[in-house]
Chain A
Amino acid sequence: MKESEFAIIGGGPGGIAAAIVAAKAGVKVTLLDENERPGGQIYRQFEKGYKVTDSKVLGRDYEKGLELLRQFSSLSDKIRYLNNATVWGIFKSRTLAFARKGTSSSLSFKNLLVATGAYDRPVPLPGWTLPGVFTAGGAQRLVKTERVLPGENILLAGTGPLQLVLAHQILNAGGKIEAILESGNISKNWLRILMGIWGNWDYLKEGWRYLRHIQKAGVPLLRNHIILEVHGDGQVEEAVIAKVDKSWRPKPDTERTVKVDTVCLGYGLVSSTELALLAECEHKYELCLGGYIPVRSESMETTVPGIYAVGDGAGVAGSKVAIEEGRIAGVSIARSLGYISDADASTRIRIFQKHLNKFNRLRRVLDEMSVPGQGLYELAKDDTVLCRCEEITLKEIKKALADGTIQAKDLKRMTRIGMGACEGRMCGPALIEIMRYQPNASPEGPGYLLPRPSIKPIALGVIAASKQEE
């Protein structure tokens, strides 16, 4: 089997940045992207059929992304770009399996970069499964690249600056927002800083404009507030909100009900670590960075030699950090393959590292403030479904916990939580948080739901139509 000297999984900012620097150094790069076109979630491009008439209204990250993407496509003779490629397994023989165009192929690699990004932190609360409840990312995708509003009267609930970005986009698209709830104890000033240091770096200048926009539109921004429940017959009709204390626990007698038809939940992001876990990279637990994340060296190498991880998939920090990390990984790999000298690599890494350090200083501030309060994981009631696929309620989980189950992987076997089609992505992060606070919690922590191939649902016919070489 032909071996790729450098395979990248993920076509977001981190993967693209790594591909660009490595390809420029002469490395033969293969990039596997699950999407039709490069850009990931943040720089997601429009589908064929849409014509952009005014890129300004699509936001500056869209324009900024186009620039990086142009660089990427100018290297198309040096980078083998495989779109619509879903990586469904990594195997100990240093090969990965991916589905593409109705068949499955395998690719063996010398070096691998996992740049799989992140997704919205799922937060189970009563009514969160009703149609009309979206993740902030899901709503953003609808508004940004489908240009469809998720509903008529929208409540945004969560924490962090991504909410403000979403609010701006909804308002800009002509949508109506009932209120924005910020659970964190964040002052106006903090919000402005946060706007900048989150991945959407360009919003630093625009941050104030967004806040103004939200204010001018008359949308209340309610700090220290949380959404407790969503009600409705068949779909969202109202939400119960309340003021919270520092631990995000509701203050007595502050509950009230708001009439809305749409709720967007945006409590930050969690890393997509399925592939890094499958590759047996060691992980550590960092709640504010997105849960279990791979342990990495300064060159972004994981504990498995030759396997690197960058971007939100290795600790949520936004696109700017992803780009610098991607560049460091790209240069490190070019050095390890002998394409550039140690001295050259060190010089370049120092520059990227300098940028990264600057971001990291601010990132620590962000981390402290974006940590979900403990109250967030106390919203679910006994009959609240934690596992959307298998419809496993909190009550069932509590029963298994009381029975002495202390590890997440065992809880899965006992209750079927995490055994559904999302493969534990929507229940895993909350399950870990709930288990961490159990009186009989194991000191080593509950561990995680072990991903197993195929890490995304893949049709048997696709796997059966496997090709030996790609």
Chain B
Amino acid sequence: MSMVEKRVQKGVERGQQFEIFVDGEKILAYEGETIGAALMAAGRRTLRYTNKYKHPRGLYCGIGLCQECRMVINGVPNTQACQTLATPGCQVETQQREKYSTGLTG
């Protein structure tokens, strides 16, 4: 996907700009922006792969109901990207059952 600017400037000014890490890669985010929105703005649409058929899933309902945007955020799996605000330096991983441990420690 080409990198057409998806952040709309009209009508609002954004707060502090910072970087977050998605699968180790840096992307931009702003204060008050959800991780889901920052990912959409960066053109990263696949947020997780399903357990059974390993199908990609992205942001869908955007209001916290569908659970499609579950990612591993700061080490905690099954965290909803559409409901979690980005914070400077936060670590986000595409959720894929084969690749993440439970995130649980003894």
* Residues on A facing B (Cβ under 8 Å): 34, 41, 46-58, 119-120, 122, 129-135, 137-143, 146-152, 172-174, 234-235, 261, 385, 388-391, 420-422, 425-426, 457
The proximity string for B residues 49-86 relative to A, scoring 1 for CB distances below 8 Å and 0 otherwise, is: 01111011111111111111010000000100010010
Residues of A within 8 A of B46 (CB): 131, 234-235
Rounded to whole angstroms, the CA-CA distance of A122 and B68 in the bound complex is 13
Contact B62 A141 (CB under 8 A): yes
Whether a CB of chain A sits under 8 angstroms from the CB of B106 is: no
Query: Contacts A57-B11, A129-B55, A131-B45: A138 and B63 contacting too (C-beta < 8 A)?
Result: yes
With A130-B56, A138-B59 as contacts: A388 and B2 at CB distance below 8 Å:
no
Q: Bound complex: CA of A137 vs CA of B62, how far in Å?
A: 7
**Known A120-B61, A138-B60, A234-B56; contact A51-B66, beta-carbon cutoff 8 A:** no
Contact partners of A425 in chain B: CB under 8 A:
65-66
Enumerate chain A residues within 8 angstroms of B55, measured Cβ to Cβ: 129, 385, 391
**A235 with B10: CB separation less than 8 A:** no
What are 30 A-B residue pairs whose CB atoms fall within 8 Å in the complex?
A34-B64, A48-B31, A49-B14, A49-B31, A50-B32, A54-B10, A54-B11, A55-B11, A119-B63, A130-B56, A130-B58, A131-B47, A131-B57, A133-B60, A134-B59, A134-B61, A134-B62, A137-B61, A138-B62, A138-B63, A149-B6, A149-B8, A235-B45, A235-B58, A390-B52, A391-B51, A391-B55, A420-B67, A422-B66, A426-B65
* C-alpha spacing A152/B43, complex, angstroms: 10
Closest CB in chain A relative to B79 CB, distance in Å: 10
Q: Is the interface of B mostly helix, strand, loop or mixed?
A: loop
CA gap between A51 and B15 in the complex, in Å: 8
Q: A137–B82 Cα gap in the complex (Å)?
A: 13
Q: Distance (Å) between the CB of B92 and the closest chain A CB? A: 15
New A-B pairs, 13, CB < 8 Å, besides A52-B12, A138-B82, A147-B7: A49-B30, A49-B31, A50-B14, A52-B11, A119-B61, A130-B56, A135-B61, A135-B62, A138-B59, A147-B12, A148-B37, A173-B10, A420-B67
Contact partners of B105 in chain A: CB under 8 A: none
Contacts of B53 in A (CB 8 A): 385, 391
Whether A150 and B40, one on each chain, are in contact in the complex, defined by CB atoms closer than 8 angstroms, is: yes
B34 touching A146 by the CB < 8 A rule? yes
CB contacts (< 8 Å) of A234 on chain B: these are: 46, 56
Which of B2, B8, B37 touches A174 (beta carbons < 8 Å)?
B8
With A235-B56, A388-B57, A388-B66 already in contact, the answer to whether A51 and B13 are too (CB < 8 A) is: yes
Specify which chain A residues have a CB less than 8 angstroms from the CB of B51 in the assembled complex.
391
* Contact status B67-A129, CB under 8 Å: no
For A140, list chain B residues within 8 Å (CB). 62
Contact bitstring B14-26, A, C-beta under 8 A = 1, else 0: 1110000000000
Query: Measured between C-beta atoms, what is the minimum distance from A261 to chain B in Å?
Result: 7
B34→A135 contact, CB < 8 A = no
Measured as residues with beta carbon below 8 angstroms from the partner, the interface class of chain B is 35 or more
**Are the C-beta atoms of B41 and A148 separated by less than 8 Å?**
yes
Query: What does DSSP make chain A's interface, helix, strand, loop or mixed?
Result: loop
Chain B: minimal CB distance from A227 (Å) = 15
Which single member of A58, A131, A137, A149 contacts B11 (CB below 8 Å)? A58
| Interface-central residue, B7, B31, B62, by most chain A CB under 10 Å | B62
B37: chain A residues within 8 A (beta carbon): 142, 146, 148
Which residue of the partner chain, among A54, A58, A132, A388, contacts B45 with CB atoms under 8 Å?
A132
Across-interface contacts of A129 in B (CB, < 8 A): 55, 57, 68
Given contacts A142-B40, A152-B1, A235-B46, contact A422 B8 (CB under 8 A): no
B57 in contact with A50 (CB, 8 Å): no
Given contacts A137-B62, A148-B40, contact A53 B12 (CB under 8 A): yes
A261 near B11 with CB under 8 A, answer no
Provide the residues of chain A in CB contact with B85, threshold 8 Å. 47
Q: Which residues from B are CB-within-8-Å of A426?
A: 61, 65-66
CB-based contact A137/B12 at 8 Å: no
* CA gap between A249 and B92 in the complex, in Å: 43
Looking at the assembled complex, report how far the CB atom of B87 sits from the nearest CB atom of chain A, in whole angstroms.
Answer: 11
Separation of A235 and B1 alpha carbons in the complex (Å):
10
* B6 neighbours in A (Cβ, 8 Å): 148-152
Which residues of the other chain, A, contact B32 by a CB distance below 8 angstroms?
Answer: 46-50
A224 to B15, CA, bound (A): 44
In the bound assembly, the distance between CA atoms of A119 and B63 in angstroms comes to 8
Contact B15 A49 (CB under 8 A): yes
On chain A, the residues within 8 Å of B14 by CB distance are 49-51, 147
Task: Pick the residue among B16, B52, B56 that contacts A131 (CB under 8 A).
Answer: B56
With A50-B13, A131-B47, A173-B10 as contacts: A119 and B65 at CB distance below 8 Å: yes
B40 near A421 with CB under 8 A, answer: no
Please name all residues of chain B whose beta carbon is closer than 8 Å to the beta carbon of A388 when the two chains form the complex.
57, 60, 66-68
Instruction: Say whether, besides A148-B37, A388-B57, A422 and B65 are in contact (CB < 8 Å).
Output: yes
